[in-house]
Amino acid sequence: MDLALLRTFVTVHRAGSFTRAAALLGLSQPAVTSQIRTLERQLGRPLFLRRARGVTPTTIGDELAHRTAPHLDALIEITEAELDEESGVRTLHLAGPPEFTSVRALPALTPLVAQGLALRSSFFACAEETLEGLAAGHHDLAIATARPRGGLLTATPLCDEEHVLVAAPRWAGRLGPGTLRHKGPVVLAQLP
């Protein structure tokens, strides 16, 4: 069986869409569709149910993904480990939102650099794009503001995020000092 077909299959399974998988793999959407059809013909069974917004794996598709994905990931890891061993440095590929990753995550990981770990970071504003890259094997670790769908990625809560309302001085002056704190967000209804 062609490993390229299995790689495409696992990427589609993780991405939940032929279009997203095509973008992750650097292929056209028709090429991904063709590869999945070829694999389905070889296996004699459908692997995905086509939906209006992406695809859902069949029972056989889920089973195939759970059996093949760890092995494909291991092959990628072996290849990367050989590249890292040649340079004498292991590299951690971290992805996440720019502010949190650069202000919190990278400073927390810098002590590992002294122990021989190289850090490579990619910044994404969109959690979905970050998780797609992780699912496709472009990153080793990701920080995202959304939990991954499906069962192939594991998420651990890292912290709670607080959102605050910040106003320009002229807008804050219209409300008066402490008005929002004392009366609550109902006072914002009067503003455009």
pLDDT, residue 89, reads: 66
pLDDT of residue 76: 75
pLDDT digits (tens, 9 = 90+) for 12-30: 999 999 999 998 888 899 9
Instruction: Give the mean model confidence (pLDDT) for residues 91-114.
Output: 87
Question: What distances in angstroms separate CA 151 from CA 30, 50, 142, 154, 169, one per listed residue?
Answer: 26, 19, 16, 7, 47
Tell me, rounded to whole angstroms, the distance of Cα 125 from its chain centroid.
11
- Give pLDDT tens digits for 35-69: 999 999 999 999 999 988 889 999 999 999 999 98
- Residue 24 phi, psi dihedral angles, 5° rounding: -65, -35
Distance CA 74, CA 10 (A): 13
pLDDT, one tens digit per residue, over 104-154 is 888 888 888 888 888 888 898 888 888 888 887 888 889 998 888 877 788
**Where is 81: in which H helix or E strand?**
helix 59-87
pLDDT at 77 exceeding the cut of 80: no
Query: 8, 18 in Cβ contact below 8 A?
Result: no
Share of the chain above pLDDT 90, in %: 28
Averaged confidence pLDDT in the chain: 84
Quick check: 84 and 91 in contact, CB under 8 A? yes
